[in-house]
Structure 1
Amino acid sequence: MNDKWRVTKMQAEQMDPYYRDTWVEVNLSAIEQNVRSLSHVYKDQNTAIMAVVKADGYGHGAVPVAKSAIDGGATFLGVAILDEALELREAGMTTPVLVLGRIRPMDARIAAKHHIAVTVFSKEWLVSAKEYLDSSNPLTIHVKCDTGMGRLGITDPKEIKEMVQIIHGSDAFYLEGMFTHFATADELDISYYQEQFQQFQQFINQLEEENISIPLIHCANSAAALRFPKRAFNMVRFGISMYGLSPSPEIKHQLPFPLEPAFQLKTRLAQVKKLEAGKAISYGATYVTEREEWIGTLPIGYADGWIRAHSTNGGTVLVDGEELPFVGRICMDQCMVRLNSSKEEGTIVTLIGHDHGQELSMDSVARRLDTINYEIPCIISKRVPRLYFKDGNLISVKNQI
C-alpha cells in the first residue's frame, strides 16, 4: 500500500483483501461534504435531502456512500430497483428508502415487509399489488407523474384523483409522496424545465382541489436542486452532484458551491520495456513504434470497464504528473501507454483523479468518450476493488470477487 494510506492493524484485519494493482479510491469525506453543502443551501427551508445511491452508488458503493450521505444530513435514500433497496436493509440501514423504478406487483409484500417505499404510476398496478398486501403491513407509495420525461409516470392530472381514491380506499397502502423528473434541468435553456414544472404544478393543484394532502412532494434532481432551490417543494433528490460531479459542463459555473469529486481510478505499471522502432503494439497491430520508445503495460482493460474507445479517442493517463497516451488497442485485462522515459515497475498510474498537481477529471474522460460523467464510474466493474477513505485515512476495502 502507498505510504499515504494510514490504517491500523485492527482495521486492516477487517478489510477485504485484494490481489491486484488496480483500484478505485472513494473519498467518503467528499460525499459527506457535498451533502452538507446542499443542506446549507436549504438551511432556511423545510426541505429533506434524498441521497440517490442507485447503481451501487453510481459505482462508488451504495452502502458506504449512503452512510456518509446521512452523516452529511440526508434523511432519505433513493434507489432504482428493489434489489438495491434490500441491499441497504441487509446492511442494517433503517433510513427511509424509495425505489424510483417499477417493482413487480407480486413483490409489493417484500417491499412492505422491509419498509421500502415504491413508485406507482398506474391504477392497474395498485389493483394487482393489493392482492399481495394486507392492512397489518401497508405499502408506502410515491406516485410518479410524467410531466415531459416520457419515461415512467401518469400523464393526466385527473388520473391522480382516481389513484388516490384506490390508495385511500384500502388499508394496504400509505400515500407518502408524489414526484416528477426533469429532462433538461441541466441545460442553459430552461424553457422546457419551466413547462415541466408548470405541468407538475397542475398535478398539485388537482390534489388541492380534492383536499388531498401528501407529506412529500419532490421534483428536483441535482441540477434543479442546485439551480432552483425555491422550486424544490419539501424534498430534493441529490444524485450526480453528491459524488462531486456537475450535472452538465454548461451549468458548472451556476452551482452555488464547489463540488468535491469522490472518485479516483488508479493502477500500477506492471512492466516497462524499451522497444526499437517498427514494433507493433497490441491486437491488430494498430500502433507501430516510430523510434525507440518506452512502453508501460497497465493491468486494467475493458473487462474492468476501461473500454477500448479510451485508446482510440486520444486517451491519456498521468504518471509522475506527466500526461501520457495510450498506444495500441485496450485489451480485456491490460493496456499499454507510451512513457517519456524509463519508469520503475509498480509506479502509480492515474486514469481518473489527481497526480503530482495534475488532474484527469471525470468530465475530461467523459468528453473523450463523447458521453456524460454519470456513465464513467458506473461502468467501472465490480472486479476493481473500492478503497474507502475518510479524513485522509483508509477505513475499508470492498472487493466483490
Structure 2
Amino acid sequence: MVTSWNRPTTLIVNKKAIQFNIAQEQKRLKSGQELFAVIKADAYGHGAIEVAKTALLQGVNGFCVSNIDEAVELREAGILLPILILGVVSPTLAPLAQQYDLTLTVANEEWLRYVATNNDLDTQKAPLKVHLKIDTGMHRIGFNKIDDMVKSVQFIQSHPLLTYEGIFTHFATADEEDTTYFDEQVATFTEFVKKSPVKPKYIHCANSATAIWHEDCPTNIVRLGIGLYGLNPSGDVLSLPYELKPAASLTTELVFVKQLHVGDKVSYGATYQASEDEWIGTLPIGYADGWNRKLQGFKVLVDGNYCEIIGRVCMDQCMIRLPKYYSPGTTVTLMGEDNGQVIDANDIAHYLETISYEVLCGISTRIPRKYV
C-alpha cells in the first residue's frame, strides 16, 4: 500500500517520549538486568527502524521482534545490538539467522534435531544462539515438559554450532488484579529453570506488565513492549506506579465543511439524521487507514472540543459534527492532546472493546509517520 504523503493525515511519533519511557524503566532495573526494546509489528505501528535508533540513543541492551524478516530489516538498517526473535522460525532459516547474528526461539527438540541433521550451519561463523521457550500456561508455543527441556539443553551442549543463550516464558495475566494464575506460571517457570542442566546467560520472563507490577520475578531481561510506547498494559485495570508518555498522536485536517439542515442524512445506510441545523466536517481518514468502521459515535478533538463521528466511517473518509463553522484546513486530533483535552489509544480501544495494542498496530502504512 502506498503511503499517502500528500494527504494531511499523519501519525506523529515523539522520540523524546520513547526515550522518557525507556528511562523510567531503566531506573528500576536491578543489578545484572538488561532492557530489550520490543519493536515487533513495525514497533507497534510506530516504525521499527526509527524507534530502534531512538532506543539506541537511550542505551537499551537489545531488541525483540516477532519474525526473521523484522530482524533482518533491523540488521540491514545498521542495528548491531542483540536481536531476539520471539516467534517460531522455520528450522530451514537457521543459516539465515546465523548469517545475520540473530537469536532464535526454540519451542521443541524436533527443531534442534532438524537443524543438526541438515548440517547447514556455517562452521566459519559464530554458533547460532538460541533461547528455549517454556510454556508455563499460555499454551501458545514452548516446552511444557521438564524432561523434554533437559534433553534439548543437553543436545545443544553437544552441538558445536549451537549456543544455549537463554530460557524464557511469557505470562497470560500479568496485567490483572488476580495474581493466582500468574503465581502458578512463575512457580512453573522457576521449576524449569531449576532443572536446566546448565544456567544460560539469560533467564527472562518480564514483559511490560511483569516489569511494572511484579518486580520480584526471576528475570535478567526486561522485554519492554507497550510500555515503551507510553501506554498502560492493563488499559485502566491497574494504576501505573510511575509516569509513561504516549509516543504517538494521530492528526488530520478538515477537508470539507458544510451545513446540514433538519432531516439531512449522513453516510452509508443513512444511519445519522440531523435533528437541527448543524455544521459537519469531512476528514480524510477511514477504515482503510485503520480508523475502524465501529468508531461511529466516538469523538475526536477540534480546537479542544470533543466532536462526534456521525454516520458510518467510510473506507477513506469520515464525518464529524462541529460545534460551529471551522474552515477547511483546521487541525483535527484523533489521538493525542488538543488544548488540554486528551484522547489516547486506550480510550479508542475501550470504545472498540479491544486493547490499545490492536489500535496502534492497526494504523495502516497508508498513513505516513512523522518523527519529532
- Structure 2 counterpart of 1:120, from 99, 102, 106: 106
Corresponding position of 2:12? 25
How far residue 250 of structure 1 moved from its aligned partner, in angstroms, is 4.5
Corresponding position of 2:266? 281
1:259-299, Cα deviation, whole Å (9 max, x unpaired): 11101011000000112211111111111112211110000
Q: Give the Cα–Cα distance (whole angstroms) in 2 for the partners of residues 158 and 183 of structure 1.
A: 23
Corresponding position of 1:340? 323
- Structure 2 counterpart of 1:327, from 305, 310, 327: 310
Q: Give the Cα–Cα distance (whole angstroms) in 2 for the partners of residues 282 and 378 of structure 1.
A: 26
TM-score (norm 2): 0.96
- Structure 1 counterpart of 2:225, from 233, 239, 256: 239
C-alpha contact 1:134 1:171 (8 A) present in aligned 2: no
Q: Give the Cα–Cα distance (whole angstroms) in 2 for the partners of residues 236 and 202 of structure 1.
A: 20
Q: Give the Cα–Cα distance (whole angstroms) in 2 for the partners of residues 358 and 174 of structure 1.
A: 52
Q: Give the Cα–Cα distance (whole angstroms) in 2 for the partners of residues 201 and 250 of structure 1.
A: 30
How far residue 56 of structure 1 moved from its aligned partner, in angstroms, is 0.2
Q: Mark the runs of 5 or more structure 1 residues left unpaired by the alignment.
A: 1-15, 390-401
1:366-398, Cα deviation, whole Å (9 max, x unpaired): 100000111111000001000001xxxxxxxxx
What one-letter code is carried by the residue in structure 1 that aligns with 2:205? C
- Structure 1 counterpart of 2:278, from 289, 293, 312: 293
Q: Give the Cα–Cα distance (whole angstroms) in 1 for the partners of residues 4 and 225 of structure 2.
A: 30
C-alpha contact 1:34 1:259 (8 A) present in aligned 2: yes
1:320-371, Cα deviation, whole Å (9 max, x unpaired): 0000101111100000001111001000001100001111121111100000
| Partner-residue secondary structure (3-state), 2:356 | coil
2:245 matches 1:260: yes
Corresponding position of 2:65? 79
How far residue 226 of structure 1 moved from its aligned partner, in angstroms, is 1.2
List aligned pairs for 1:179-258, cutoff 5 A. Answer: 179-207=168-196, 210=197, 212-253=198-239, 255-258=240-243
2:134 matches 1:134: no
Q: Give the Cα–Cα distance (whole angstroms) in 2 for the partners of residues 268 and 140 of structure 1.
A: 49
C-alpha contact 1:187 1:250 (8 A) present in aligned 2: no
Corresponding position of 2:24? 37
Q: Give the Cα–Cα distance (whole angstroms) in 1 for the partners of residues 293 and 129 of structure 2.
A: 44
Q: Give the Cα–Cα distance (whole angstroms) in 2 for the partners of residues 106 and 355 of structure 1.
A: 50
C-alpha contact 1:186 1:250 (8 A) present in aligned 2: no
C-alpha contact 1:224 1:232 (8 A) present in aligned 2: no
How far residue 232 of structure 1 moved from its aligned partner, in angstroms, is 4.1
Q: Give the Cα–Cα distance (whole angstroms) in 2 for the partners of residues 232 and 97 of structure 1.
A: 21
C-alpha contact 1:272 1:342 (8 A) present in aligned 2: yes
How far residue 17 of structure 1 moved from its aligned partner, in angstroms, is 8.9
Q: Mark the runs of 5 or more structure 2 residues left unpaired by the alignment.
A: none
2:291 matches 1:302: no
Corresponding position of 2:348? 365
Corresponding position of 1:97? 83
C-alpha contact 2:177 2:238 (8 A) present in aligned 1: no
CA RMSD of aligned residues (A): 1.3
How far residue 251 of structure 1 moved from its aligned partner, in angstroms, is 5.0
- Alignment coverage as a number of residue pairs: 367
Q: Give the Cα–Cα distance (whole angstroms) in 2 for the partners of residues 216 and 121 of structure 1.
A: 16
Q: Give the Cα–Cα distance (whole angstroms) in 1 for the partners of residues 62 and 147 of structure 2.
A: 29
2:128 matches 1:145: no
TM-score (norm 1): 0.89
Corresponding position of 1:177? 166
Q: Give the Cα–Cα distance (whole angstroms) in 2 for the partners of residues 183 and 282 of structure 1.
A: 41
Q: Give the Cα–Cα distance (whole angstroms) in 1 for the partners of residues 193 and 4 of structure 2.
A: 51
How far residue 135 of structure 1 moved from its aligned partner, in angstroms, is 3.0
2:88 matches 1:108: no
How far residue 72 of structure 1 moved from its aligned partner, in angstroms, is 2.1
Corresponding position of 2:361? 378
Corresponding position of 2:145? 156
C-alpha contact 2:4 2:368 (8 A) present in aligned 1: no
